[in-house]
Each structure stands twice: as structure tokens, then as C-alpha cells.
Structure 1
């Protein structure tokens, strides 16, 4: 049996490697041509220090305190030259992928789904010849190429391992990708993308989860929920508040209802900001967050939406004096270039 270790680099590039039993992460990475930072390889210098965000492993005791202190080890820091996984892991590497001689993986795919699910949203599905070659963390994104070489960034709405990689794309009038998808692309056409990227991804669920989505920012949260439903690993409550601007922007509600059947601990609410909406719940996501939802900060928050929404939520939490146990958020701009941050 081997283990999957996702190496998440400082620039957001992720590469998944296979680690054999009793093999160190360093040795496995080099075997697969990923040149992690290294100097001594003996647990002496600390050059290969990383942080394990998730997963079980053994560090042994063949390293010096100067290379990795006890306090650092308690915080999840590891030496990749000493770390021997005993399960799947996620490891943050504090250097850009380019310094490890990595280039983002490129994938050629075929358009298998192209649905205009509303006046403002397109659902795009891409199928690879071998879907197993695409490995990502739920919540991450890829850069999809346009014919002229430009790219646009979109988060997966599908789970890793799905037969079809799916995306929710806002239909922006005059937008390069929107125009391409609505006027040029047909089923069966070839499209390519690079990635995966991003530090906005699902961590191990150890406490209640609050998810907040704005518009097509729902996509990465759908990917996370799909994984939760597939694995059935969490008994923690999960609550999602999904806010949009107009009724046309409200999509994938049936999918959320289906997910709530597969994930009994999931509850969700939708709201529409437009005062002329016929939806029963109006306003912004912050209008639909109770003190009970916030749990005094004893929860993990995942937030994805436009910059104004992200800042509004951050200000709302500050005014409430709520400091979540972990707070992960991603902003996206009209040009569909996303940035991820975590606190």
C-alpha cells in the first residue's frame, strides 16, 4: 500500500506524490522528480522544514532539536527528510514550486457538458482521457485556456476523482470566456487547463463548519461538500449560507438539496440581495447568520465570493468579536482571477 501526499507550495501550485510504506516524503518526492529543499538529508540542518496540515506520520527521533524544536513539532512542522507517512497527508512547502523545478501540470480535455443553467451562469464539464491523472484538493482551481492563449481561473465544483471535472462560470456580457463558451464552443471540443492551484481547500473536519458563498463562489464549496458526502468522515454540523444578487444568480439549489440527503449534518440557506426578488429570504449572507451559527468562534469558516462580500463578512465577524478557530477565504474578481488567503 502507498499513501498520497499533496505538496502545496507557497505559490499555490499543488503536486500529489505517492509515498511507499516506510519511505520518507523527501525520498518519494525526489523519486518523482519533485526537488524539495534539502541540504543534509539527516535531520540536522532544518532546510527541508515543512508543515503537515493533515494526516498521520512518524518523525522518529533521528533529528536535532536545532533542526526542529519540540514546539514546532507540536504545531505540525516536520522535516521532509524524516517524515514517514502512515496515511494520506497534506504538506505545506514554504517555497515556490519553481524553486523545486516544477511547472504546473497541463491537461487536455473534451467538453462534455455545456449548460446555461441560468441567464447569468454556465455549467462547464470537461472530461479527460484518463480522469485519474487529475489530482487536486477540494476547493482548488485551474487556469482554463482560451484560443488566444489567455487563461481564466475557475474552481472545481466537482470532487477529486469524478469522471467529469465541472465548473460554474459566471456569464459576463462581453467577457472573453463567456463569449467563447456561448458563441463558439460545442460539445466534444477540446479545451486545456493547467493546475491545480490554491491554498483554499478543505482541511480535516474536527469541529463545526460554516460555509459562506457568494454567486459562483459556491463552486469550491460544492467540491468540499461532495468529498464530505463521499467519505462520510464527519459527524460535525455543516451549515452553508449561499447569497446571490438576483434570482437568476441562484443556481445548483437542487444539488444542495441532494447533498443534504447524503450528508445528514448539512443545513443550508439561500438569500437574494435584490429587493425585487421573489425569493423568501432577502439581503446579504451576514443578515442570515445567527449567534448560534457562529458558535462563539468554535468553528471552521470557509468563505468564497467577490472581494466586497469577503470584506463584509470579515468586518461582520470583527464587530461580533468572533475569531474562528480557522478562517479560510478566497476572493474572485470579475476577470475570474482568484486569490486565496487563510487565517
Structure 2
């Protein structure tokens, strides 16, 4: 089945939904907020006479985080406009983009309260619509969007690499992502797919962005020596389940996750090679796999078991739909129960952190 048909976060507002298990993603969005303000000043100053700013959030997913992004951007632009003594307070047209299977309805049900709050804040008129489709291709007319935003989306590939078999034998046998023990050809296949997708992404956004527009991307990356990934731990659990006859070995051997975590240098090089944008800011920051848990639970000590369960819940909300398509729904409870236990063990001996890459680019004339 095509990746874009099955790739989406877990919808709804249930206990295991993305809407209720995306605190880490929200923390990342809030952590980038200061950088947003610093980098948007020049863009806003060039759009003094714009009556409506058109802004797109690519890979918006489902739940309240999408509205947090919108609120942050509106507040930042309003503040900058006041500081620059702009005569016009712009209106905002927001386009929420994700793949066709995304649960847009969960966002739309939050809009009446959101619109009321924004009217009370008095930061400008706001209009929000959905734009389903893959961002690895065109989504908007030429020169239409003033500002592109994307958080935790661009590390997803349009598909898993196709060159992962030799003489009909899987090159990544027993693994679902590349690791320290993977053959060099597996890494090369993943990098080539990322290179192809990322350059197509940049080319598409170049056509859609206005001349004085800007784009900010936040996504998962890696340090050269760090191969600890959520996918790697899922692969370890699946191998256990294969040995016990709970998962078919052939399904594991043929499944590869459609994600790639690039290094900073790989990102810099691809932006320069593609040539559509000038890199204004490129930073990294780390965040623990269980970020937010200690902040949200203050009444008692958080042990490794609770940390493992917390991490397993949000990983499940992100990856379960994709895993169901490959391995079936009946093994999901067992898979993520084991995942939580394995994380609880790992977190005792390793410092599990995500490396985040955030970059701001402007369109080349």
C-alpha cells in the first residue's frame, strides 16, 4: 500500500490518540517560538502594506498543537507589527496541510473556541482551512504563500527506499531502519531517498513562496555517531515477537520505516546544492524522550516504568497506523506493552534524547 495512504497520526481524542499524546511535539513547538520571533522580523518589515498574510503549516497532524502553531505565529507577527509601527494590522489566512488520511476533523471541532479567543486577543482576523496532500509536490499556486511552517514532519519520507533488496533478498533483514550494524548500502539507500524528497520539497516551496517570504522547518536529525531511534527499539521488540511466533518473519524482513534523520551537514549541503533558498539560521537542540513527563507529574516520583509507559504512548500515537497496515491490529497492544518495558530498561543505562534541527530559509531571487 502506498505510504501516503496509511501514513497519519492516530486520530480521534481517545486515550491512545495523537491529540492526547503529543506533549513532546508541543514542547518542541514552544521551544522554537523565540527563534521564530527573532527570524520573522525581517520578513514582517518587508510586508508593511500587506492586508492578508498567507501562511501554511505543513504536516499539521491532528489535535491542539496545530492551533498552538497558529496562535504563536499570529501573536509574534502582531507584536512585531506593533514594534515597527505598522499602520495596517494584517489578517491571516492559514492553510493546514497533511496527507489525505489525517484527522482534520479533530482540529476543525476546536475552531469555534479558538476563533473566540483570537477575537478577544485582538491580534487580527484569522481564517483557517485544510489543504490535504503530500508536501513532496505542489500544494499551492505560484507565489502564493508568505510563510511556510513545518514541525516534526520533513524527516518523513515519501516512501521507504526501494533499493533495499539484492537478488530478492532483503539487505536490511531483521531491521526496520538503518543502524550501526546495517550494511553501508542500507544507509546509502535511505540517504538517496531523503535527498530526492528534500530537494523536491524545496523546489515545490520555492515556486509557491512569495519573493519576500520565509520558511521555517523543525525536524528530527541525528549526530553522526548516534543511532538510537524509536524505530530501532520497535525493531528490537518485533524481533522478539518473531522468535515467539507472534509476528511473521517475512513481514519484518520486508518492512522499512519511511523516515530519515539527517545530520546538520547533510541538510546544509542539500540546501546549497538545490539552490532555491538561502539559509539564514541552522540550529540544533536536544530533548529527552520523556520530556514533559517530569513537568506534568509533580506529586510523586517518576520511575523508569512510568517513563517507559509515557514514551510508549506517544510513540504508539505516531506509528501505530503505519504498523497496523503491515503487521495487523491484533499485535499492537502486545507490541507497545513490550516497547514500554524495553524503554524502561534502556532509560536506566542510556540518556535517550532526540536531536532536533531547526532552520530558517529565504527564497532566492
TM range (shorter): 0.3 to 0.5
Q: TM-score, normalised by structure 1?
A: 0.34
Q: TM-score, normalised by structure 2?
A: 0.32
Greater RCO (CA < 8 Å, at least 6 residues apart): 2
User: Which structure shows the bigger proportion of residues in helix conformation?
Assistant: 2
